[in-house]
């Protein structure tokens, strides 16, 4: 079923979306999800994940077995079809505060993974950024209520950090992963240089 939308409405609608559309990291830590705010249900959003090129597919519809695509170019939804119509009958938009909290949480994890920042520091920075990213205190409280506690993320953050920084508890006894060259770590197990060791001074 297609709905004819008057031209004027389409133009207004595009102008609004252009300002509000933003992206977030997917679970796999890539910037490949666009968030489309609902016009008909204020405070709610749809999430569309990139399929290929400029094509994005509704995340919830996909789980329900329906393909609902939109085309996004330069942060704007293209085409005249309203992105809120033609979803699976059980596809409901997400509360924006939940999605914003997810976004902050994923950015924090990516930050720790990329920089090796300490968990406590990354968590504090995330909490501080809530104030900057929310316009009202109500909005801020809603987002904070959906963020994980530090105790919940501490272990996971430590794991992200360990992927970048190998802890060295005893400087005289280096962990195995620091004794192997980059080449030694990257080649296949049947390669001559697999597990290649640095030349270490042995006394």
- Give the shortest CB-14-to-Zn ion separation in angstroms: 20
Instruction: Provide, rounded to whole angstroms, the least separation between the CB of residue 200 and Zn ion.
Output: 57
Q: Rule CB under 5 A: say whether 41 interacts with Zn ion.
A: no
Structure tokens, 75:
């942060």
Stretch that binds Zn ion, among 22-30, 62-70, 93-101, 187-195 (CB under 5 A): 62-70
Cα separation of 73 and 174, whole Å? 50
- Contacts of residue 107, defined as CB under 8 A and 6 or more positions apart, other chains included, come to 25, 126
Of 102 and 119, which CB lies nearer to Zn ion in the complex structure?
102
Place of tokens 């005893």: 170
- Residue 62 makes contact with Zn ion by CB under 5 A: no
Q: Which of 81, 87, 113, 118 binds Zn ion (CB under 5 A)?
A: 87
Residue given tokens 């133009």 in the structure block: 11
Q: Is the dihedral angle over the CA atoms 56, 58, 64, 65 positive or is it negative?
A: negative
Q: Which of 21, 24, 61, 147 binds Zn ion (CB under 5 A)?
A: 61
Residue 55 C-beta: closest distance to Zn ion, Å: 14
Q: Does 58 bind Zn ion (CB under 5 A)?
A: yes
Residues of span 67-86 touching Zn ion by CB under 5 A? 68
159 in Cβ contact with 146 (< 8 Å): no
End-to-end Cα distance, the chain: 79
Binding stretches for Zn ion (CB under 5 A): 58, 60-61, 68, 87, 91
């Amino acid at each position: 079923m297609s709905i004819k939308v008057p031209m004027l409405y389409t133009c207004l609608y595009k102008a609004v979306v252009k300002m509000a559309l933003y992206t977030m990291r997917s679970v796999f830590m890539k910037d490949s999800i666009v968030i489309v705010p609902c016009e008909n249900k204020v405070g709610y959003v749809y999430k569309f994940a990139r399929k290929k090129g400029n094509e994005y597919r509704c995340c919830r519809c996909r789980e329900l077995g329906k393909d609902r695509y939109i085309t996004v170019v330069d942060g704007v939804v293209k085409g005249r079809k309203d992105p809120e119509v033609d979803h699976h009958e059980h596809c409901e938009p997400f509360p924006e505060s939940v999605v914003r909290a997810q976004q902050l949480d994923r950015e924090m994890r990516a930050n720790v993974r990329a920089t090796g920042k300490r968990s406590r520091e990354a968590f504090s920075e995330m909490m501080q950024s809530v104030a900057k990213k929310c316009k009202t205190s109500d909005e801020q409280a809603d987002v904070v209520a959906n963020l994980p506690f530090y105790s919940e993320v501490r272990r996971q953050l430590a794991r992200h950090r360990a992927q970048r920084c190998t802890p060295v508890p005893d400087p005289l006894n280096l962990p195995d992963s620091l004794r192997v060259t980059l080449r030694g770590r990257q080649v296949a197990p049947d390669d001559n240089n697999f597990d290649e060791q640095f030349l270490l001074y042995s006394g």
